[in-house]
Amino acid sequence: MKKHFVVLTVVVLVFLVFMGCEEKIDDDLYTITNKSDYVLLNVTNRTSHNQLYYQGHFGDINISSSSSTKIVGYTDIGSFIHFQLDTVAGIKHYSTNAGLNRNNRQYTITNDTVLTPWGSGPTGSLKKIADISMLVISNQSGVAISNVIWNGFELEEIINPGINANTAVQTGSGYIYFKRKTNPINARTDELVIIERNEKKVFIINDNTIIVDLDNPGNKGTLGTLGR
């Protein structure tokens, strides 16, 4: 009887240890660390398996900070981390190409982490995406302009009077090139336009804006009068 009691006790202990290990696997903490130069908003880790959906909510993660949460029933398949960035173009949604799983309970996001945008947009490093700036051209002149380009970035094909056109750009400097529709002329601004990181640059074009005639570089004057 005593022997049977000892065997039963051992079996119960093994069972409890086994159950404790299983519980730890299912409910252990998963951690995301932010070592980038940007605040990550509304961070989640998502995956699906056999039509079941698993999601861990980590909230906002500040620079040089970490956030941990428990994800019950997590599988060994791949996943991705989803979050938002506050850019000059507004709140944008991105995801990583990898994420957390049972074998990888910690994930670190850096400036070099490759991100894929939700919807349209190019894939790139977090730094390249987060450092995006915006150029807004406000046509307050009396003529339409077209084929507008700054530093290799194209805006709308035609910007009519009273219209604002914008595009996301990278930091840099350059002239604004365009065509004047009335009394056609290929021109550029006389002013060099400089755009800094995370800047929303508004450039106003009116009839008094000084432009340079690209076909006659020594010829410059106002948009409203040059070549007329």
Predicted TM-score of the model (pTM): 0.61
What is residue 13's three-state secondary structure?
helix
pLDDT number for residue 218? 86
Residue-range domains of the chain with CATH = 26-130 (2.60.40), 133-222 (2.60.40)
* Cα distance between residue 4 and residue 10, in whole Å: 10
pLDDT number for residue 73? 66
Which DSSP string corresponds to 112-142?
T-EEEESSSS--EEHHHHHT-EEEEEEE-SS
How does pLDDT run across 160-174, given as a tens digit for each residue?
Answer: 999 999 888 888 999
In tens digits, the chain (228 residues) has pLDDT values of: 545 544 445 444 444 444 444 444 445 789 999 999 999 999 998 876 555 556 789 999 999 999 999 877 666 566 889 999 988 878 889 999 888 887 888 999 999 999 988 876 678 899 888 888 889 999 999 999 999 999 998 887 899 999 999 888 888 999 999 999 888 999 999 999 999 888 889 999 999 999 999 998 889 999 999 866
